[in-house]
Chain A
Amino acid sequence: KNEVEQSPQNLTAQEGEFITINCSYSVGISALHWLQQHPGGGIVSLFMLSSGKKKHGRLIATINIQEKHSSLHITASHPRDSAVYICAVISGRSSGDKLTFGTGTRLAVRP
């Protein structure tokens, strides 16, 4: 079992729909990142969370440390939101932080 699991793996939505992508992890973490990767490879960091909730425009990220779960929500989805969304957790160890990535959720938003 992977330390970081994302669901769903693939998601197709109609423009305007509310979208939720989930990330569950099995280790204790100090922080969690949500990343967006567009075709061609470029990655943008959307959020870094250690507790609670963050909002940026139409994007909302939440994390529940006790339940080891985070969600990324997209409100009023748009075709330009089509991308792969990746969560990454940071867990500490004596030799430094360990970054572990989920396998990503491929989102396609149709006009």
Chain B
Amino acid sequence: KAGVTQTPRYLIKTRGQQVTLSCSPISGHRSVSWYQQTPGQGLQFLFEYFSETQRNKGNFPGRFSGRQFSNSRSEMNVSTLELGDSALYLCASSPKAGGGNEQFFGPGTRLTVL
């Protein structure tokens, strides 16, 4: 089976712009979770989608949003980018909903905001 894929792998944006990141889960996995990793804050949970519904959300401002499509692919969007949004964004897929299941991580998208 192919692993979790994320596109693009690298992205450079300027403040105020918006960005959309994509995640394709392992075939058959219906849960997709998104995480932000920064040197200062470490890994933080953004949100989880399962069967096209946001099931769970971390403590991030409304500028961070996401969605999931019927084929389980997921996108996350960050609007009005700030310098502090520079981070590695990781998605992970799982066959079932909830953090108590094994998660398979993608390679991440490294976003730089100038």
List chain A positions with a Cβ less than 8 A from chain B: 30-31, 33, 35, 40-45, 48, 50, 86, 88, 90, 95-104
Contact = CB atoms under 8 A, between A and B. Distances in A.
B65 interface: no
Contacts, number: 64
Contact of A101 (B42, B102, B103): B42
Nearest to A33: B103
Q: DSSP class of B's interface residues: helix, strand, loop or mixed?
A: strand
Interface residues of B, number: 25
Q: DSSP class of A's interface residues: helix, strand, loop or mixed?
A: strand
Given A98-B56, A101-B43, A104-B43, 13 more contacts: A33-B103, A41-B88, A42-B107, A43-B105, A48-B100, A86-B42, A88-B43, A90-B98, A90-B100, A97-B56, A97-B98, A101-B44, A102-B42
